[in-house]
Amino acid sequence: MSIGRLVILGVGLIGGSLALALKKQGMVAQVVGWSRREQTLQKALELGVVDRAEPDLAKAVRGAEIAVLGVPVGAMEVMLRQLAPHLEEQTIVTDVGSTKGSVVEAVRHVFGEPPPRFVPGHPIAGIERSGVEAAFAELYQGRRVILTPVSQTERHAVATVRAMWEGCGAEVVEMEVTHHDEVLAATSHLPHMLAYSLVDTLARMDESEEIFQFAAGGFRDFTRIASSDPQMWHDICLANRDALLVMLERFRADLAQLSDAIRAGDSDYLMQTFLRAKRARDRFCG
């Protein structure tokens, strides 16, 4: 496929990496970047992430074949309200938010019904660093992108967005909105909550300096994602609260059982738990 003009609304790691990947593959003629921060736009220009920096939203989206919403999910409705008066009929709009129910709800608040050329999407390809400075063209190689079209979404628009991501080296799958949020609550949102919570607990201990000084590789591996963007994860936590709370409650119950087993010296329970966990991880992540 070939995209004449792509606009990234909110140039950061995800949108910036998409732009770089498409440029590398020769799939886009022009990338226009928009951001509320002039400094971000200038950096995106300097790094060659965008071809044109446009602080005026109306000018940024003019003539765009595809518009990618790269703002945090908590800012999505405000972004959509600003975008709506300037959106041209031919422009396909997609997003990169980690929660889909909240995004679709925001779309309905603004448009009444989702526009036929709106394709909700979620590239599962984040890293702990954020900002346009962290963008790189290979971010999506071998990664999954989930599209969650609704009943109003045109199949042509879905096919176009799919081709865009596949051109970046991603594996694209489709999923129902609610199911997406349930799956990501378990596989992504819960682990981030655990990492943030563990680091915060240890940091508030009197011996925190010594604890972190002697932290080994396992601690660094487990808590790496606690270096992710706090604002983004604040928004995700609130946007997907129902599904996330279900997973937190389930994990809390299992953690209580683990505590009871350690207290009772229940060797069999501990060994079976560790064996199940090892087998599961080796199977799916080995």
Set out the domains of the chain in order of their start, with CATH numbers.
3-175 (3.40.50.720), 180-285 (1.10.3660.10)
- What's the pTM value of the predicted model, to 2 decimals? 0.90
- Using the structure block, give the residue that is written with the tokens 């808590």: 223
Say if CB 225 and CB 195 are below 8 A apart.
yes
pLDDT exceeding 90 applies to what percent of the chain?
Answer: 87
pLDDT exceeding 70 applies to what percent of the chain?
Answer: 100
Burial group, residue 149, by CB count within 10 angstroms (0-12, 13-18, 19+): buried
Q: pLDDT of 39-70, one tens digit each?
A: 999 999 999 999 999 999 999 999 999 999 99
- The answer on pLDDT for 286 being more than 70 is no
Report residue 208's pLDDT band, with 50, 70 and 90 as the boundaries.
Answer: confident
Q: pLDDT of 24-45, one tens digit each?
A: 999 999 999 999 889 999 999 9
Q: pLDDT of 219-240, one tens digit each?
A: 888 899 999 889 999 999 999 9
Say if CB 123 and CB 142 are below 8 A apart.
no
Q: pLDDT of 126-152, one tens digit each?
A: 777 888 999 999 999 999 999 999 999
Least confident segment among 6-10, 115-119, 230-234, 263-267 = 230-234
Q: What mean pLDDT is predicted for residues 278-285?
A: 91
